Structure 1
Amino acid sequence: MNLALIAATGIVLNCRGPEQAVSSEVIVLVNSNSPEVTKGTQKLIPYLNHFGVSFTTADLAEGSLPSGPEKPALIIVSHPGIAADDMTLTGLLEQYLKKNQASGTGIVSFDLLVPDSLLDFEGDEPGIDPDVGELVFPPEKHYITAYHQPGEVKDLFGYMAVPIMTADNARVLLTGNNHPLLVVAESASGKIVQWTSQDWMYSSVLGPMGGLDDCLWRSVVWAARKPFTMQAIPPIVTMRVDDVVGSGRQQWDETPLHWVRTVNKYGFKPWLSLFIYNLTPEGIEELKELVNSGSATASPHALGRPPRPESSQEHFDAYYEYQMVKDHFIPDYYHPTAIPYLSDYYDEFIFFDHNNRRPWSDDVAAKALKAVDDWYAEVGPLPRSNYLIAHWGEMGSNTISHVANNWGIEFIAKSKILDKAWGDDAPSIKQGPFGLYDEPMVGIPKKVQPRFRSSYSADFIELAGEEFFAFSSTISDITGYELEPDNDVEATADRGIRTLRRGLESKSLAVLFTHETDYIFRVRPENWDAIFRKISQGIAQYNPVYMTTDEALKILRAHHTSAIKNSSFNEGTGELQIIMSGHTDVPTNVFVYTEVNNEVKEMLVEIPVFKDSTKVEVILDKP
C-alpha cells in the first residue's frame, strides 16, 4: 500500500552551488565523564532511534566541542551535567551553542543549566521538589503540546523530582507542582527547547508509551531548522485478537467470525491468534475467505480449549488463575481428529507445558507441532501468518526451529527468555527500542498505581539459534493489559480511541488488542458494530492507514534495517535530497517537516525498495 503523500522520483539533481545547500544534520552531545550520562545514552538515544532521527553523537569527555558539521539543523544536549563540572567546558559549550543558534540551528537541552538564558533558580541555592505526582499542561496550545488539551493533567505512576526554578525568559509548556518541566524560547535566528528533568522517561514514573512521547518528538521537530527529516513509522493501525475460536454461531447464531467482518467495515484487518481445534468447519471456511481476501491474517496460538468441565475455572486451582478473566468462553466444538489431551485441565498448549510450568519433552513438543501441521494439511489450503504469539507467551526452545524453518515465522512476540513459565522470575529478553538496558528505580512509588505499564518492542532477537524480528505493543495503563470490550458502547469506544491515539501520537505502530474468549464473545453484534464505528471516527483525524499485521511488520522491520544517512536542502532550487542507507524489502517512508508562517507542516515521502543506499529528491516550495 502506498503511504506517500508526496511521490519521490528517486532521481537526484545536482545542487546549484554549495553555499545554497543546508544540512539536516543532528548533533547529540553526551559526556561519558558525567554521572548522568546514561540518561542520554540509555534513555534519550533509544527514543531518537525509535523516532528515526538521524544523528551523530559527540562525546565531550575530552573537553572539546565538535568541529563540524557547519550549521547543523539541531543540537541536542542529551542529559544533565553535560559539562561534568568543568567550568572551562561550560564556557566553551555556551559559545558553541550561541554560535550555532545564530546560524539557525535549533537546540533541545536536557541540562537545566545549558543554555543558561532561560531558567533561574528560586532563591540563592538550587532546590528540588521530589514529590511531583502529576504534570499539568498550560491553558494555551503550542505545537509541542498539540495532542493535549489545555489544562490537561497527566497522572504519573510514581513521584518524580523536578528542579525548583523560574522561567522568566521562556514560555512554560509543562509543569509539575507549578515548577517548569518543559520550556521553549525562540528568536529570529533559532529555537530552544529545555527539559528540566528526564525522570518521566523511567517506567517507575511514566516511561515510554506512557503518554508524553509525543511532546518529545515534537520538541525535536519544532526546534530543528526546517526542512527536517525523520524516519518515523507512518500512522499505521492494526488489530490483534488472541484466543480466537469463532464463537459467533454458538453465542449469537451469527457466522463464527462475524465480528471480524464487522471490524473490516471500518478498515480494521485483524491478526487472529487461533485455538485451531475449536474452529468449526463453517468457521474454517469463513477464516479462509477472510485470509484470502486480505481482510485478516492468522497463525496458531494453542491447540484449543476442550469442551470439558475442567476447562472452566471453577473446576481447577492453578497458580495463574488470578490472571484469568472469570467465566471465559468454552466452545462446544473440538476437532474430531484432535490428538489426545496433553493437559488435565484448562487449555491445550502447543509450545509449552503451561500447567506444569516447564517445556514439553522433545517427544511431546514434536507431537504438538505435528498436530498443528496435520490440522493445516487437513483443513487447507489456509495461508498462515508469519507472525506468532504463543499462548501465555510461553515457548520451549525445542519448538523454535520448527516454527522458523517449517512454518516460516519471521516475526514473533516474546518478552521473557525461553523455557520459563509465565509468572516465573525470569530475565526479560533485551530488545529495543526501550528494553535494551536494565532500568534503575527512579522517583518515589505511589501507594496506589496501575498494575500494568505500557510496553513496546520492535527489534531483532535470537531464539535458540534462529533470528526473528520481535514486535509487541500493549497500552496497558488505560484498561489494564488490553481493550476489555463490553456492551457499554461509549466506554469501550473511548478506551479503543485512547489506546490507538497513544500509539499514533508516539510515532509507533498502533495496535488494538483483545481476546475473543475473554471479551468479544460477550459483546452483542449491534454493540460491536457501534463500538468500531465510533473508534474509526475517533481516530480519523490522524489519517490512519489500516493494514494487516503482516504488512505492517514488514514496514516496521524495513525501518529497522534502513536509516536516513543525510538530507540536505538547496535553497536556490527548493530541492530536498534524502540519502538512505541499509536495505529494505518493502517501500518505506520519511517524514518531511517544513514551516510556513510559524506553522509546522508534516508530509510523507515514499522511499522505494533499495539495497545498500538510495537517493530521492522532493521539490519543496522555496522559503
Structure 2
Amino acid sequence: MSLLIDAVNEGVGLVNFDSDVAQYSNSFREALGMFGEVSAYSTPLVRVCNDTHYITGTRELGETIEFKRPVEIAHVEALKNAITLLRSAEGVPAVFATRSGKGKAVQFAISPKVWLDEYLGHASGLDDIFWKSIVWAAKKPFLMMAMPPFVTCQFDDCYGSSNPFKKGSDSAVVNLGYIDVLNEFGYVPHVSFFIDQVDEKDERKIKEKYDKGLAEFSAHAFAETLDFETAHFIYQRTHGFEYTYEELDEIFAKVDEKFRRWGIVPSKVVDPHWQNPGLRSLRYLKERGQTYVMFNALFGMAYSDPCACLWRNGPYGKHDYSSSYVFDYIPIPQDFPDAKTGDFFIVQAYLGPDFLGGKTVFNNENKFNDIDAAADKAALQIKRGLDSLFFGNVMCHEQRIAALSLEEWRAIFTKVEKLTSKYHKIHKSYEYIAQYAKNKCDCRIVEAVHNLAEGKVSCILKGGTDMPLQVYVFRDKNEGVEYHFETIPPFKESVTVSYQLAP
C-alpha cells in the first residue's frame, strides 16, 4: 500500500471502488483523508451534497439516487481534507474526493455491489459519478474514447395531421408542427409513421424536413385501428409469427412506393411496431441498408415474449427492452441463410416509459396536461443517457403529443432546455448516432503516449471505422477539468494518431 500512496503523491490518480476500507492500514486511510474507526451498515439511497465539484457538477443539490435494495456502506469516523460528494440517507459520506501530494484520489464508501442490477446497476443513475471520478483523478492529459454528448428524440405511432387523438386545430400534430418546435431547439427527430394513415397534406412537410436534414422518417407499421387490437405490421405478423417471402415481396414493394411518393429515403434505423423485425424480413432490410434497430428484442419475437431479450445485451446485459441501454450486435441463428450475427446493430438509450406517459389527457391518463412533469421526465431521459455515456434520447408516442397544443409542446422543451443547461449537448439524428455508436464499438485505443518534450499525445487504435470519430482529451483547469475533441480518421485494422496539445 505504501507504494500505491507514493505513486499518488507523485501524481498518479487513484479511484478506489473497494468500500471495505477497514482492512487497510491507518497510513493508507489517512492518506485518503480517512481518520478514526470504520463501521459498516446499509443505506437505501445516496444524496448529492455538492454540486460545484467536477464529478457532481451537472447534478442538483439534494438529488437522490434510490437503490432497489439497501447497499452496504463504510462509515468512516472522520474525514479531513476531503470533499464529500454523495452522502447516505443518514448523512454518512458515500463518495469523497481528496488530494495527496501531487495526486488526486476518489474513495467510494458504498459497496461495489451497487453496480449489480439487483442493487442498482449501470446506466441507472450513478454512471457519471463512476467515470467522472476516473477523469478527475487521472493524471492529465487523459484520453477517453466514449460517445460524445449526442442528443436526439424518437416518436412512435405517428400519423401527423390525421392523428385521431388530436385536441382541436391547435394540436401540436397538425401539419407536423411538433417537428418545427423541436427544430427550434436544435433537435433532429426520428418520426416513425403509420404510413397508410399519413395525411396527403403532410407529405410536402415531410419532404421539406427530410431535404433540410431537420428530421428522419421510418415505417412503423401500415396502420393501426383505434381499439389497439388490430395492427397492420410490416416486418412480421403479430405475436412473432413470420410472413412468407411472397408476402414480404409485396409488403416491401408497398413501403418502397410510399417513400418514393414522399420523395425521401427511410432512415437506416428501423423502429417497428410492437416487435422487432421477423427473421425473414432481414434480407429486405439489408438490401435497403436498414441495419440498425432501436429495441433489444431478438428478431422474430414479440416484445411481450419473456425470452425476447434474453441475450448478451452489451455492454451491461440489461434484459428489459422497455428501459435499457444497449450497444451491441443482435444475435441471429447460425443456420439462418439470409443474415448473420454482425449484420444488425442495436442502438438503444431509453429510460421508459415515454416522457408523456400519464402526463396528458390522452386516454384519460391524467386530468390535465402536466407540462412540468413532462419536462422533468424528458430532461431525465436526456440526463440519464448522457451520464451513462450513451446518448440523450427523448421518446414518446404521438398519440400523447396530439393531446397537447403547440404552445404546450413548446413550453415543455423550453423547460427541458433549462433543466439540462449544465450539460454540453450535440444534437444529431438517430441515424447518425447509430452509425457512430457502431463504429465506436468496432475499434478501441490500445496504447497512448504523452511526449512531454514535444507537447504531443499519440495513440494507437485497433479495429476499424468507416466514419471519423472523436476522442476526448481531458486537461486539468484550476480545480476542475476541461476537454476538447480530437479526430480519429476512418481506418482499417490499425492506425496511429498524434495530437499537439495547447500550452
| TM-score bracket for this pair, using the shorter chain length | 0.7 to 0.9
Equivalent residues in 2 for 1:161-560, closer than 5 Å: 161-168=72-79, 170-176=82-88, 177-196=90-109, 197-247=111-161, 251=166, 252-253=168-169, 255-306=174-225, 311-312=226-227, 345-354=229-238, 357-362=239-244, 366=248, 369-370=251-252, 372-373=254-255, 375-376=257-258, 379-405=261-287, 407-426=288-307, 427-435=309-317, 454-464=323-333, 465-466=339-340, 467-476=343-352, 480-484=353-357, 486=360, 487-517=369-399, 519-560=400-441
Quote the offset at 1:511 in angstroms. Answer: 0.7
CA gap of 1:147–1:536, structure 2 versus 1, over 3 A, is closer
- What is the one-letter code of the residue matched to 2:237? D
- What is the one-letter code of the residue matched to 1:174? L
Structure 2: distance between partners of 1:523 and 1:248: 15
- What is the one-letter code of the residue matched to 1:469? F
Quote the offset at 1:494 in angstroms. Answer: 2.6
- What is the one-letter code of the residue matched to 1:217? W
- What is the one-letter code of the residue matched to 1:277? D
Quote the offset at 1:270 in angstroms. Answer: 0.5
Q: What's the TM-score once normalised by structure 2's chain length? A: 0.85
Quote the offset at 1:246 in angstroms. Answer: 1.1
CA gap of 1:296–1:104, structure 2 versus 1, over 3 A, is same
Q: Give the 3-state SS of the residue equivalent to 1:118 in structure 2.
A: helix
In structure 2, list runs of 5 or more residues that go unmatched: 334-338, 361-368
- Identity %, equivalent residues: 26
Quote the offset at 1:591 in angstroms. Answer: 1.0
Q: Give the 3-state SS of the residue equivalent to 1:463 in structure 2.
A: coil
Q: Among 94, 106, 113, which residue is 2:13 paired with?
A: 106
Determine if contact 2:450/2:457 at 8 Å carries over to the other structure. Answer: yes
Please give the root-mean-square deviation of Cα atoms over the aligned residues, in Å.
Answer: 2.9
Partner of 2:363: none
Structure 1: distance between partners of 2:199 and 2:131: 47
Determine if contact 1:387/1:550 at 8 Å carries over to the other structure. Answer: yes
Determine if contact 2:158/2:193 at 8 Å carries over to the other structure. Answer: yes
- What is the one-letter code of the residue matched to 1:154? I
Structure 1: distance between partners of 2:24 and 2:487: 37
Partner of 1:13: none
Structure 1: distance between partners of 2:95 and 2:15: 10
CA gap of 1:167–1:376, structure 2 versus 1, over 3 A, is farther
Determine if contact 2:351/2:381 at 8 Å carries over to the other structure. Answer: yes
Quote the offset at 1:453 in angstroms. Answer: 7.7
Quote the offset at 1:601 in angstroms. Answer: 1.7
Determine if contact 1:118/1:168 at 8 Å carries over to the other structure. Answer: no
Structure number with bigger Rg: 1
Q: What's the TM-score once normalised by structure 1's chain length? A: 0.69
Partner of 1:568: 449
Deviation readout 1:88-138 (Å, 9 max, x if unpaired) = xxxxxx244234324321111222347642277986xx75424x1111233
- What is the one-letter code of the residue matched to 1:260? I
Q: Give the 3-state SS of the residue equivalent to 1:149 in structure 2.
A: coil
Determine if contact 2:175/2:202 at 8 Å carries over to the other structure. Answer: yes
Determine if contact 2:98/2:106 at 8 Å carries over to the other structure. Answer: yes
Deviation readout 1:164-188 (Å, 9 max, x if unpaired) = 4435454433232344432332122
Quote the offset at 1:162 in angstroms. Answer: 2.1
